[in-house]
Amino acid sequence: MHQPIDQYAAKLSADKRASVYDGTKSGYDARLRSLNTSYPAPDHLRLLAGRIKQHTIENLDTYLPQVEARLRTNGVKVHWAVDGGEACAHVHRIMEARGAKKMVKAKTMVSEEIHLADYLEKRGMECLETDLGEFIIQIDHDHPSHIVKPIIHKNRREIATSFEKNGLGSYNDDPEVITARARQFLRHKYLAADVGLSGANFVSAESGRIVLVTNEGNSRFSIAATKVHIALVGIEKIVPRDRDLGVFLNLLARSATGQQLTSYTEFIGGARSANQPDGPEEMHVIFVDNGRARVLADDCRAILRCIRCSACLNVCPVYRQASGHAYRAVYPGPVGAVLSPLLAGDEFPEMADLPKASSLCGACNEVCPVNIPIPDLLLRLRDRGKREHSKVAAADTPPMGAFGTLANHPSLWKAAMKTGGLSALYPTFLMPSYGKAWVRTRGMPKWRGGKFRAWMKNRKQQASK
Amino acid sequence: MTASRDAILKRVNDALAPLKERAPYPEFADDVAVMPALDRNGDLWAAFCERAKLVHGTPLSGKPAVLADWLHGQNLHHGYCDPELLPLFGEALAAAGCAVETIFDRARVDEYQFGITRAEAAIAETGSLVLTDATTSSRLAALAPWTHVAVLKRGQIFADVADALKKMPADPNVIWCTGPSRTADVEGILIEGVHGPGVQVAFLLE
């Protein structure tokens, strides 16, 4: 049995690999340029942000009730969802209560996580993606493969083809034309929709403000044109005070796209003002657990600091080769390799190969704006996969039993080391099948072991002279 | 509903209970994330203009006629104007051949070439405009037309993001617009004007 990610990467077309490589590389370069030209010591900010977030998640028992109280004071209706099913049911119920049939939604990872669009469509509701990338994913019946750039795996020709197929004009692969057509089509959808749904990048416990960042302005349009605003919020999204946002907004935009600030930063404290003609009459916040409290109980809880900037995806040599779909879950890349198995709950063993999809080079930790020690967390999860005897985690791992016997018997070990030099002469046709597969693409290494005992012995003799 | 609330809070409590100590809230200066290169004592409007241009914003300043001439020069002749701004701008706009409406009719969303509304403030450090419900007469008029003009006065400019956060207005809808609406979803190529304005003007009224 082989590792699923290796298999996926091996079958990936050259076109897709080039798209992913170019997209991640440009994201990485932009981040570096932006951070280093803005600050003499950007690392200091990163460490500080990590400490604020770690403090927050370790005090969620205080901050969650606090933010709930603030939201209620602001006139926001607060709901709680233990899992995805309950979160979807809340959305459905809110829509039904208003007699609403049409929703426009901004990009939110939680809604992907809980399969909201499928849930609503099965119940006769329209649920339209408004972020350009997510919209293209939706008309293609595809899945996002990157957190910030959902269609990093697609080129303009594919997009033009699906626009043509979906009645959005004749074939034209000019990005300017593609964007203009989406603009024209979607603005009428906003105006016809009843409900606007968003996620939240941050929620301030101090003011109860939901903070949303987008470049396209799609969340702003959904919240200007519809009568109901629903925000789906993972319980880990809180920051203690408004002033903390100065640190996070600066780091998020730079780490995600290399911008100083994202084009639109929205601070939403409730429904529209009385004198405002546009915007929602009511606002709902749904706090979603869906496995997060379980992650909080785990010693990998630092992953809950993540602010979904994708810097770790962009820098990861495995992500670049394999693409996001290889991770078989909503969250790809290094963050996904930690988060997806943890969020999977009882299905952890089925996702336990993901922590092995890493070279442990440490680049993900180095670029992380909240300093998550991703390589350490991956090692902990590899260990857990082994302890729980996960079959997918064991794939492509050579059997270590024989090595264990060898290493536990000094005389055997000594003999093996002495004769090891002969290994290069071993007839490969006598090898077991996995050994044959191994040497088919690699040469036998030159023997370099077995010298230590001799060296040690000589060293003692030298010293006694 | 309350059952789920209690269940989640209990899980969170149980998850955190075994922690012997919890990470403290780190102390830091308000301006820790402010770029050191920023000149906070100089002309804030000049600093704003410099930053706004970097994000492809369009800063303009002067009497109402300056804006009216600019709109005329861009071949924009029909749009929306905040009714409270009309006494100031109406005459100049009419003279430049610009017809404006003071109620945004969403049924005719594609007919408005521009929208003129007031800004709550601006942020020099990032070239951002701050819009609120209190100062924006119509959210849609500030968003749907290709060109949005936000009118502000001197004395309404924050030096940096930290300052703007500290003096956040008590408004349910505070928006920082940093340049025009943009996307790079198609092959990473930057395109301006997706759902929001393709041209974002900051007009300093003098």
At B108, which CATH number? 3.40.50.10420
pLDDT of residue B38: 67
Å from B51 to nearest chain A CA?
A: 10
Buried b (16+ CB within 10 A) or exposed e, B111-128: ebbbbbbbbbbbbbbbbb
Residues of chain A with CATH 1.10.1060: 4-10+293-394
- Domain presence at residue B8: no
Closest listed residue to residue A193, CA positions, set A228, A226, A232, A230: A226
Facing residue for B143 by CB, picked from A74, A215, A224: A224
Closest listed residue to residue A310, CA positions, set A175, A202, A152: A152
Fold classification of A39-290 (topology level):
Rossmann fold (3.40.50)
Report pLDDT digits (tens) over B68-121: 999 999 999 999 999 999 999 999 999 999 999 999 999 999 999 999 999 999
Contact A358, A337 (CB under 8 A): yes
Residue of chain B whose Cα is closest to the Cα of A289: B8
pLDDT of residue A330: 96
Which DSSP helix (H) or strand (E) runs through B202?
strand B199-205
pLDDT, mean over chain B: 96
Residue with tokens 């590792």: A3
- Domain presence at residue B12: no
Which DSSP helix (H) or strand (E) runs through A192?
helix A175-192
- Domain presence at residue B143: yes
Q: Cβ separation of B8 and A82 shorter than 8 Å? A: yes
- Rounded to the nearest 10°, the torsion over CA A33, A39, A41, A47 is -90
Contact A4, A393 (CB under 8 A): no
pLDDT value at A459 more than 90: no
Instruction: Choose from B123, B186, B192 for mutation: most chain A CBs within 10 A.
Output: B186
pLDDT of residue A395: 82
Within 8 A of B12 by CB-CB distance, chain A residues are: 60-61, 64, 235, 293, 296
Contact A185, B196 (CB under 8 A): no
What three-state secondary structure class fits B147? strand
Within 8 A of B175 by CB-CB distance, chain A residues are: 220, 264-267
A444-450: long-range contacts (C-beta < 8 A, 24 or more apart)?
A: A447/A420, A447/A421, A447/A423, A449/A417, A449/A420, A450/A417, A450/A418, A450/A420, A450/A421
What is the distance between the alpha carbons of residues A5 and A326, in angstroms, rounded to a whole number?
5
- The listed CATH number (1.10.150, 1.10.3210, 1.10.1060, 1.20.120) that belongs to domain A4-10+293-394: 1.10.1060
Number of domains present in the structure of chain B? 1
Contact A57, B25 (CB under 8 A): no
- Rounded to the nearest 10°, the torsion over CA A397, A400, A402, A407 is 140
What is the distance between the alpha carbons of residues B73 and B96, in angstroms, rounded to a whole number?
9
What three-state secondary structure class fits A325? helix
> Does any CB of chain B come closer than 8 Å to the CB of residue A291?
no
Which B-chain residues 93-112 have CB contacts (< 8 A) with chain A? 104, 106, 109-110
Facing residue for A268 by CB, picked from B13, B55, B173: B173
Which DSSP helix (H) or strand (E) runs through A31?
helix A14-38
What is the distance between the alpha carbons of residues B148 and B181, in angstroms, rounded to a whole number?
11
- Domain presence at residue B57: yes
Instruction: Choose from A26, A92, A260 for mutation: most chain B CBs within 10 A.
Output: A260
What three-state secondary structure class fits B36? coil
> Does any CB of chain B come closer than 8 Å to the CB of residue A296?
yes
Within 8 A of B125 by CB-CB distance, chain A residues are: 260
What three-state secondary structure class fits A13? coil
Within 8 A of A191 by CB-CB distance, chain B residues are: 106, 109
A217: left (phi over 0), alpha (psi -120 to 50) or beta: left
The whole-number average pLDDT for the span B42-63 is 95
Å from A450 to nearest chain B CA?
A: 46
Task: Name the percent of chain A lying above pLDDT 70.
Answer: 100
Closest listed residue to residue A308, CA positions, set A255, A267, A265: A255
What is the distance between the alpha carbons of residues A438 and A443, in angstroms, rounded to a whole number?
9
What is the distance between the alpha carbons of residues A280 and A303, in angstroms, rounded to a whole number?
34
Q: Cβ separation of A64 and B9 shorter than 8 Å? A: yes
Which DSSP helix (H) or strand (E) runs through A79?
strand A77-81
- Domain presence at residue B61: yes
The whole-number average pLDDT for the span A332-357 is 96
Three-state SS annotation for A403-418: HHHHHHCHHHHHHHHH
**Weakest mean pLDDT among A8-17, A281-290, A367-376:** A8-17
A4: left (phi over 0), alpha (psi -120 to 50) or beta: alpha
Å from B35 to nearest chain A CA?
A: 6
pLDDT of residue B40: 67
pLDDT, mean over chain A: 94
Q: What Å distances lie between residue A148 and A220, A314, A321, CA to CA?
A: 18, 10, 18
Task: Name the percent of chain A lying above pLDDT 90.
Answer: 83
The type of residue at A167 is G
What three-state secondary structure class fits A371? coil
Å from A28 to nearest chain B CA?
A: 13
Pick the residue with more confidence: A444 or A66?
Answer: A66
Residues of chain A with CATH 3.40.50.10420: 39-290
Report pLDDT digits (tens) over A143-189: 999 999 999 999 999 999 999 999 999 999 999 999 999 999 999 99
- How far out from the chain centre does Cα A435 lie? 35
Q: Cβ separation of B194 and A59 shorter than 8 Å? A: no
Closest listed residue to residue B127, CA positions, set B205, B15, B50, B39: B50
What is the distance between the alpha carbons of residues A56 and A302, in angstroms, rounded to a whole number?
11
Structure tokens at A429: 């046709």
Residue of chain B whose Cα is closest to the Cα of A80: B5
Residue of chain B whose Cα is closest to the Cα of A65: B9
Q: Cβ separation of A250 and B1 shorter than 8 Å? A: no
Within 8 A of B13 by CB-CB distance, chain A residues are: 61
pLDDT of residue A1: 59
pTM of the model: 0.92
- How far out from the chain centre does Cα A352 lie? 16
> Does any CB of chain B come closer than 8 Å to the CB of residue A268?
yes
- Domain presence at residue B1: no
ipTM over 0.95: yes
- Rounded to the nearest 10°, the torsion over CA A171, A174, A175, A180 is -70
Report pLDDT digits (tens) over A184-205: 999 999 999 999 999 999 999 9
Which A-chain residues 75-134 have CB contacts (< 8 A) with chain B? 79-82, 86, 130-133
Which B-chain residues 24-63 have CB contacts (< 8 A) with chain A? 24-26, 28, 30, 32-37, 51, 55
What is the distance between the alpha carbons of residues A87 and A99, in angstroms, rounded to a whole number?
19
Closest listed residue to residue B9, CA positions, set A296, A347, A239, A232: A296
pLDDT of residue A414: 87
Report pLDDT digits (tens) over A52-94: 999 999 999 999 999 999 999 999 999 999 999 999 999 999 9
Q: Cβ separation of A149 and B186 shorter than 8 Å? A: no
What is the distance between the alpha carbons of residues B29 and B41, in angstroms, rounded to a whole number?
19
pLDDT value at B1 more than 60: no
pLDDT band for position B137 (cuts 50, 70, 90) = very high
Facing residue for A289 by CB, picked from B8, B104, B187: B8
Q: Cβ separation of B1 and A216 shorter than 8 Å? A: no
What is the distance between the alpha carbons of residues A441 and A336, in angstroms, rounded to a whole number?
30
> Does any CB of chain A come closer than 8 Å to the CB of residue B191?
yes
Pick the residue with more confidence: A422 or B196?
Answer: B196
What is the distance between the alpha carbons of residues A372 and A355, in angstroms, rounded to a whole number?
15
What is the distance between the alpha carbons of residues A154 and A302, in angstroms, rounded to a whole number?
32
> Does any CB of chain A come closer than 8 Å to the CB of residue B194?
yes
Within 8 A of B115 by CB-CB distance, chain A residues are: none
DSSP structural state of residue A270: S
> Does any CB of chain B come closer than 8 Å to the CB of residue A329?
no
Structure tokens at A86: 């309950």
Within 8 A of A83 by CB-CB distance, chain B residues are: none
Instruction: Give the range of the structural domain holding residue B67, as residue numbers without chain letter.
Output: 42-205
Alpha-helical (H) ranges within A59-83 are: 60-73
Structure tokens at B157: 């400019």
Residue of chain A whose Cα is closest to the Cα of B184: A149
Report pLDDT digits (tens) over B146-178: 999 999 999 999 999 999 999 999 999 999 999
What is the distance between the alpha carbons of residues A21 and A316, in angstroms, rounded to a whole number?
10
- Domain presence at residue B75: yes
The type of residue at B68 is A
Residues 6 or more apart whose CB falls under 8 angstroms from that of A345 comprise: A291, A294
CA atoms within 13 A on the CB side of A415: 5
